[in-house]
Structure 1
Amino acid sequence: MTLDELRQLDPKDIGNWPLPVQLGSLVIIISLVLGLGYWQVWSGQLDDLEVGRTDEAKLKETFLDKKGKAVNLDAYKQQLYEIEQSFGAMLKQLPKKSEIDALLTEVNQVGLGRGLQFILFKPGPEIKTTEMAELPVEVRVGGSYHDFAAFASDIAQLSRIVTLNDIEVKVPEDEKERKEYGFVLSAIAKTYRYLEPEEALAVKKAAAEKNKDKKK
């Protein structure tokens, strides 16, 4: 059918159009309806479907994670119990306030027992947290490398927790100290103590007041 013949077709008399033209028009109408339906309705529903699939995948992942934790709940409880026991044992290694002086004397005796000569043994101010207090002690001792190593080993074996930090070993610049000691070890010995209940409460109150002031 030519273009002129198509132009001569009467839109009001579709029933008398040639069959191929009728079929072609029907296909065009159906395509328009489907396209309009997809644009107006189905596209939004497809987006919702994709969102639903994503949410479903996340929910499955969350479910499997919680299921795994539920299956291993007894193991987690046992692990928590062991951690609490270990933490309790560590707390027992922290001296009380009344025991600090004895501990410092013990550290001093350990050094003297290894033949070290104390040049400086100066406790600093305590640094308190909500659970414990840290007491740094500036230490400077003279001796040999072997004595220093033995001293550090003895410190590690004390019944209470004492650590050596910022260790430095060198030949003294002062000629007199060099002749007298040979080598000098400088370090910060740190020991820790468990806070008394009233001290812990005071520290927590101070921290709360500090946070309150920051928010103002």
Structure 2
Amino acid sequence: MATNKNANVDVNSVFLDLSGQFRGLNMNEPGQWPWLPKLAAFAALATGLVIVGWFVLLSSTADELEAERAREPGLKQDYRAKLAQAVNLGELRKQKIQVQEYVTQLEKQLPGKAEMDALLSDINQAGLGRGLQFELFRPGQVAVKDYYAELPITIRVSGRYHDMGSFAADVANLSRIVTLHNLNISGNAVAGVGAGNLTMDALARTYRYLDPNEVEAQRKSKEAAAKEAAAKAGAKK
């Protein structure tokens, strides 16, 4: 029985000694604390850091998960579109070949620089062949587009109505593309030779393809214009 009493006294004294280490602690000087309060404070701080880090990591993971969920509908739609293309790949390739052939055929109808003079001569001969009198045949300023150049031609011819119609049909049937715009037909009020004939004013437009040097120059011009616009926009900001 004495042994049990001695054991109880030892445990109580140890407990009192340990609890006594937490009394009278100076919060401004934790370095002076006994070892047990230091160990308890370190454990509490480490636990707090682990808990905070866990919540921060969990929060960022939740944000990433939400972002991926927001991307899901778009990815599904993209997948369906690509799946449809994959299923119809053979047909799409056939259509691509057909489009390329059609574009090549159209390009052949566009003259190059060297052929423009011959085309202008063909338009003139189409009118003369129908007995029309050219009063005006004036090529205008060439307008350069992305992949082709457009040449407007102001024309005025006089002659009979049916001959004018035949001339318009002949122009439409030329091997090169020529279009007529702003047609205006008026009567000839002058008496004598040619009385009763009509006068037709029109704007003919013909087109030619750009050679590689012109395409490259057009590309560089667009890039320079885009850089200049971007620089101006940046300066305004």
Unaligned runs of 5+ in 1: 1-51
Residue 90 (str. 1) matches residue 103 (str. 2):
no
Name the count of aligned residue pairs: 167
Equivalent in the alignment of 2:125: 109
Instruction: Choose which of 216, 221, 233 in structure 2 pairs with 1:206.
Output: 221
Residue 184 (str. 1) matches residue 199 (str. 2):
yes
| 1:58 shift after superposition | 6.3
Assess if the C-alpha contact under 8 Å between 1:142 and 1:181 holds in 2: no
Residue 135 (str. 1) matches residue 151 (str. 2):
yes
| 1:104 shift after superposition | 0.3
Equivalent in the alignment of 2:163: 147
Normalising by structure 2, we get a TM-score of 0.62
Report the secondary structure of 2:174's partner residue: coil
How do 1:50-65 residues align onto structure 2 when only pairs under 5 Å count?
A: 61-65=77-81
Q: Aligned AA for 2:168?
A: A
Residue 121 (str. 1) matches residue 137 (str. 2):
yes
RMSD: 2.8
- The 2-side partners of 1:159 and 1:128 are apart by 22
Assess if the C-alpha contact under 8 Å between 2:161 and 2:197 holds in 1: no
Deviations 1:18-38, CA, capped at 9 Å, x for gaps:
xxxxxxxxxxxxxxxxxxxxx
- The 2-side partners of 1:111 and 1:101 are apart by 16
Residue 196 (str. 1) matches residue 224 (str. 2):
no
Q: Aligned AA for 2:131?
A: G
Assess if the C-alpha contact under 8 Å between 1:171 and 1:178 holds in 2: no
| 1:145 shift after superposition | 2.1
Report the secondary structure of 1:136's partner residue: strand
Unaligned runs of 5+ in 2: 1-68, 233-237
* Gap change, CA 1:96 and 1:177, over 3 Å in 2: farther
Q: Aligned AA for 1:78?
A: K
- The 2-side partners of 1:62 and 1:194 are apart by 37
Assess if the C-alpha contact under 8 Å between 1:131 and 1:200 holds in 2: yes
Assess if the C-alpha contact under 8 Å between 1:130 and 1:200 holds in 2: yes
Report the secondary structure of 2:176's partner residue: coil
Q: Aligned AA for 1:148?
A: M
Equivalent in the alignment of 1:10: none
Report the secondary structure of 1:107's partner residue: helix
Assess if the C-alpha contact under 8 Å between 1:122 and 1:137 holds in 2: yes
| 1:214 shift after superposition | 1.7
Q: Which moved more, 1:175-184 or 1:99-108?
A: 175-184
- The 1-side partners of 2:191 and 2:149 are apart by 38
Q: Aligned AA for 2:227?
A: K
* Gap change, CA 1:58 and 1:128, over 3 Å in 2: closer
* Gap change, CA 1:56 and 1:210, over 3 Å in 2: closer
| 1:96 shift after superposition | 1.3
Structure with larger Rg:
2
Instruction: Choose which of 142, 162, 172 in structure 2 pairs with 1:156.
Output: 172
